Amino acid sequence: MKASISVWFLVACNVGVSYAIEPVTVTAGIVAAVSALWGYADKTHCRVMECCDLHSISTNAKNISVLEDVLRRNVYGQHLMQDIVLRALRGHMLASDPKKALVLSFHGTPGCGKSYVSDFIAQSLYVRGMKSQYVKKFVAGTDFPDASRGAVYKLKISKEIQKTVEKCERSLFIFEDVQKMPPSVLDAVVPFIDYHTDIDGVDYRKSIFLFLSNTGASYINQKTLELWSKGTQREDIIKLHDFETMIRQGAFNEEGGLFKSETITTSLIDHYIPFLPLEEKHVRKCIHDEFLKLGYPTSPPGAAELILEEMTFMPDDVHLYSVTGCKRVSAKVTAYHYGKKFTSF
């Protein structure tokens, strides 16, 4: 308040003195001064509060490089996903005039990192991460619990997308547990991800849509096991087309939000991204990370073996892949930690 009073006092003094000299010159000076002060105040506002600008939402290639490093250090066994996601994001974010919104569909068993990766994407692109007003996350079980209310949910999605993109064209929309969504509800996004320059004056082409689903997981696991049985090392699986067709077909025919969906029939999903099932070595890394979060310098001797014994692996004859990925690791490590603390008394 004091700053505002001082500013207007200076402007008023300038008016009083200058009009005695030359009104036209003074008027121009006042306009320039007020414009400068307003610009300063506006920039200050956008440093304190989130704005739709390069400070709050970075399209700098360095941010994608940061994301690349974060994924490399925190997401295990998903080199194929990392390659596709990084190239897709880099191409879309750096394009000044993209043809359409970017749509990525993540598929795989629970605990393989789909939610983890979507969070990292939000954190790398938005200063406020998942708390950004330009990031909207829909969770099927919470936002769309009643299959009989499909029409209501479609309207809800449409309004939320319109409202968000009207505030900022570079918005991010995450749909989690798509397999639990009522059929056809996800079709509400189709107009916004299609090749439209604008809809009612609003341009949606710079937005990003992420679909997270367990559909197609059985096909991914089967194909990964098949390649392994032929002697193909996981890191040598570099061809997306080994998975993409079967994921698309599986998602289209399995019950859930993508069942017979227009997002598939209209070919508006840009990439179907497989999250490969995690092997024991990947789960061990997750266990190690959880111990570090609890303040351990490293995993206690024998702890990983005890935790792995409580987890289920598939197939039965090989026990190669974790059924739940790393999803239950945090709870297991926490139980181990506090169980040891209790027995030490």
Which of 276, 309, 325 represents a domain boundary (last residue)?
A: 276
Task: Kindly report, residue by residue over 230-257, the tens digit of the pLDDT.
Answer: 888 888 876 777 788 889 988 988 988 8
User: Is 289 part of any domain?
Assistant: yes
User: Is 165 part of any domain?
Assistant: yes
Cite the beta strand spans of the chain per DSSP E. 102-107, 135-139, 172-176, 208-213, 271-274, 313-314, 321-322
The token pair at 150 is 């499909």
Tell whether 170 and 267 lie within a shared domain. Answer: yes
Q: What is the CATH number of the domain that holds 140?
A: 3.40.50.12190
Is residue 130 predicted with pLDDT exceeding 80? yes
Which of 276, 297, 321 represents a domain boundary (last residue)?
A: 276
Q: What percent of the chain has pLDDT over 90?
A: 69
DSSP result, 115-175: HHHHHHHHHHHBTTGGG-TTEEEEEHHHHS--GGGHHHHHHHHHHHHHHHHHH-SS-EEEE
User: Is 259 part of any domain?
Assistant: yes
At a CB cut-off of 8 Å and minimum separation 6, what does 165 contact? 171, 192, 202, 203, 204, 207
At a CB cut-off of 8 Å and minimum separation 6, what does 132 contact? 50, 56, 57, 122, 126, 172
Q: Which residue has the higher pLDDT, 76 or 20?
A: 76
Tell whether 268 and 332 lie within a shared domain. Answer: no
Tell whether 264 and 320 lie within a shared domain. Answer: no
Tell whether 96 and 210 lie within a shared domain. Answer: yes
Tell whether 213 and 304 lie within a shared domain. Answer: no
Tell whether 251 and 136 lie within a shared domain. Answer: yes
User: Is 207 part of any domain?
Assistant: yes
Tell whether 206 and 128 lie within a shared domain. Answer: yes
Tell whether 321 and 269 lie within a shared domain. Answer: no
Tell whether 198 and 332 lie within a shared domain. Answer: no
Which pLDDT band holds residue 114 (cuts at 50, 70, 90)? very high
Is residue 91 predicted with pLDDT exceeding 70? yes
User: Is 42 part of any domain?
Assistant: no
Domains of the chain: total: 2
**Mean pLDDT rounded to a whole number for the chain:** 86
Task: Kindly report, residue by residue over 16-39, the tens digit of the pLDDT.
Answer: 444 444 555 556 556 555 555 545
Which pLDDT band holds residue 150 (cuts at 50, 70, 90)? very high
Which of 254, 276, 298 represents a domain boundary (last residue)?
A: 276
Give the pLDDT confidence score for residue 173 in this predicted structure.
98
Tell whether 166 and 309 lie within a shared domain. Answer: no
User: Is 66 part of any domain?
Assistant: yes
Residue with tokens 């998942």: 130
The CA-based angle 201-159-106, given to 5 degrees, is: 100
User: Is 302 part of any domain?
Assistant: yes
User: Is 24 part of any domain?
Assistant: no
Tell whether 239 and 328 lie within a shared domain. Answer: no
The token pair at 131 is 């708390």
Which among 49, 89, 98 is positioned nearest to 70, based on CA atoms? 89
Torsions phi, psi for 146 (to 5 deg): -110, 110
Tell whether 268 and 307 lie within a shared domain. Answer: no
Range of the domain at 317: 279-341
Q: Which of 42-46, 256-260, 291-295 has the highest mean pLDDT?
A: 291-295
